[in-house]
Amino acid sequence: MPVALRPGMMIDGFELIAPLHEGGMATLWRVSHPQHGMPLLMKLARIGYGEAATQIVGFEVERMILPQLTGPYVPKFIAAGDYEDQPWLVMEHLSGETLRPLLERAPLPPTQVAELGALAAAAIHHLHQQDTIHLDIKPSNLLRRPDGEIALIDFGLSHHAHLPDLLAEQFRVPIGTAPYIAPEQVLGQRDDPRSDLFALGVTLYHLATGERPFGNPGSPAGLRRRLYRDPVPPRAIRPEIPRWLQEVVLRCLEVDPDARHATAAQLAHDLQHPDQVMLTDRAERSHRDGRFTVLQRWWRSLGRDRNPQASKPATHLDEAPLLMVAIDLKHEDRALCEALRGNLKRIVSTFPKSRLACVTVMRTARIGMDSNLDAEGRNRHVKRLIALRDWVRRLDLDEHRITVHVLEHSDPAHALIDYARDNGVDHLIMGARGVTGVRRILGSVSARVVAEAPCTVTVVRAAEAQAADTETP
């Protein structure tokens, strides 16, 4: 059950002052702490009944990425933790207002659109220089500060080049805000910085014309339309928009990332120096492409299937495998846990550049909808996540090499096999429980995983029953 928040309440030394916002993924509170003089903001993940697992994972992503970021364009990370199963994150409370209210006043003067775009592009470039892609650029995540600069907020969907991509590893659907998501994100690619330029282009189009270039699709088919259907040229909606601004905006909205600006810095330069913008046919467009052209693009788009692993980093070699350990938290056996940790440490130490994904499966009903609250009213997914973190903490390994994942599925073996296959796992380590009569008849989870997993599998038995059995399919 979510913690009942109230002014004056203390959470790990932080005093709740007043609620600020109830968002789709989290609740925001103004807080204070005697050791921090700056204004502070606490973000608490929404964990009540019916909340999607993507929200909890997104909150974990922000808790992982924000401490890596510095500079004036992002809020400063202060602390993070869990309070009675309630995950929380404290950061600097940046003053200012997001660009979201400007949409109500759109269309804005072209000069104002260009100014805001240049400021946002500068902030995005600074983020990209820190090996991070935001992947949710939109007016409500662009904060105009009192000094006029724009800061970026909300990193729950972001991707860091040197940290695990939890969202890509756990979900196989496009993740983002529908009007702003880039075509390559629709196809499952989350590691191209130019995706942020596409989203900024959508924002500039909306501010300049008062309309969204691709509407607000609510289905996968609607999202895929941006792979082949071009937007109405801005000047066809507002003829007073200068040709150079249409050139810049339509370049941001190109389906092929290679056709966009190479960097956010280059985009900022164009928006600041309109006289230096090289005009192409984009600047002269007065209508959308004809049906035949759209049909050709649609036909070509049919072969562009989702492939999240298409741009997998070259560092994923023999010396840097992705390891996966499957942990049964529901039937925890102390001897088996110690044997599993011992084998895991030996394997990890053999590969200093490896990454470790720690996974547990929360069984769900095959038919119908399970409550995500237990008998005590606590969120089952969050409860498992905290227990998994506690299990991992005892490994005493570099936390930046480890990720934790709670999978929800009616068939644990199926969930583990799918995860290993979808994420390119090289070596899966799991424990084997004692064999009962029912397990002899129906077969064990570990036996199925060994038989069907597309990777090397090590099955660890309790110390007194001897070491591990390894199978390579």
Give dist(CA 417, CA 447) in Å, integer: 12
SS3 of 415, please?
helix
Q: Are 49 and 370 in contact (CB under 8 A)?
A: no
List all residues 6 or more positions away from 436 whose beta carbon is below 8 Å from its beta carbon.
Answer: none
Do 104 and 83 share a structural domain?
no
**Of the candidates 92, 115, 139, which is a domain's last residue?**
92
For residues 115 and 257, state if they share a domain. Answer: yes
Instruction: Check whether residue 279 and residue 327 sit in a common domain.
Output: no
- Picking from 116, 126, 141, 182, the residue whose alpha carbon sits closest to that of residue 58 is 141
Q: Please tell me whether residues 201 and 277 are part of one structural domain.
A: yes
Average pLDDT over residues 377-395: 84
Give yes or no: residues 54 and 147 share one domain. Answer: no
Burial 128-144 (b: 16+ CB within 10 A, else e): beeebbbbbbbbebbbb
The CATH code of the domain that includes 128 is 1.10.510.10
For residue 134, tell me if it sits in a domain.
yes
Question: Is 307 a member of any domain?
Answer: no
Q: What are phi and psi of 441, to 5 degrees?
A: -75, -45
Asked whether residue 390 is domain-assigned, the answer is: yes
Same domain for 454 and 342: yes
How far apart CA 141 and CA 382 sit, in angstroms, is 26
Long-range contacts of 389-393 (CB under 8 A, 24+ apart): 391/327, 391/329, 391/337, 391/358, 392/358
Q: Which 3 state secondary structure label does DSSP give 361?
A: strand
Note the pLDDT of residue 121: 95
What residue numbers bound the domain in which 274 lies? 97-301
**Residue 227 contacts residue 257 (beta carbons within 8 Å):** no
Highest mean pLDDT among 2-16, 25-39, 193-207, 364-378: 193-207
Residue pointed to by tokens 């997998």:
312
The answer to whether residues 215 and 236 belong to one domain is yes
User: Which CATH number belongs to the domain containing residue 60 in this structure?
Assistant: 3.30.200.20
- Mean pLDDT across 117-123: 96
Residue 245: pLDDT band by 50, 70, 90 thresholds?
very high
The domain boundary residue, chosen from 92, 108, 143: 92
Would residue 403 count as lying in a domain?
yes
Instruction: Report the alpha-carbon angle 261-126-101, nearest 5.
Output: 85
On whether residue 52 sits in a domain, the answer given is yes
Q: What predicted TM-score, i.e. pTM, was given to this entire model? A: 0.80
The CATH number of the domain where 381 resides is what? 3.40.50.620
Show which of 56, 71, 92 is a domain's final residue: 92
Let me know whether 203 and 165 are in one domain: yes
Residues 6+ apart with CB under 8 A from 315: 353
Structural domains in the chain (count): 3
pLDDT digits (tens, 9 = 90+) for 190-225: 999 999 999 999 999 999 999 999 999 989 899 999
For range 78-105, the mean pLDDT? 93
Q: Is residue 5 part of a domain?
A: no
Cβ atoms < 10 Å from Cβ of 49 = 11
Do residues 351 and 441 both lie within one domain? yes
Q: Structure tokens of 27? A: 């609740």
Same domain, 467 and 328: yes
The answer to whether residue 142 sits within a structural domain is yes
Residue 66 lies in a domain: yes
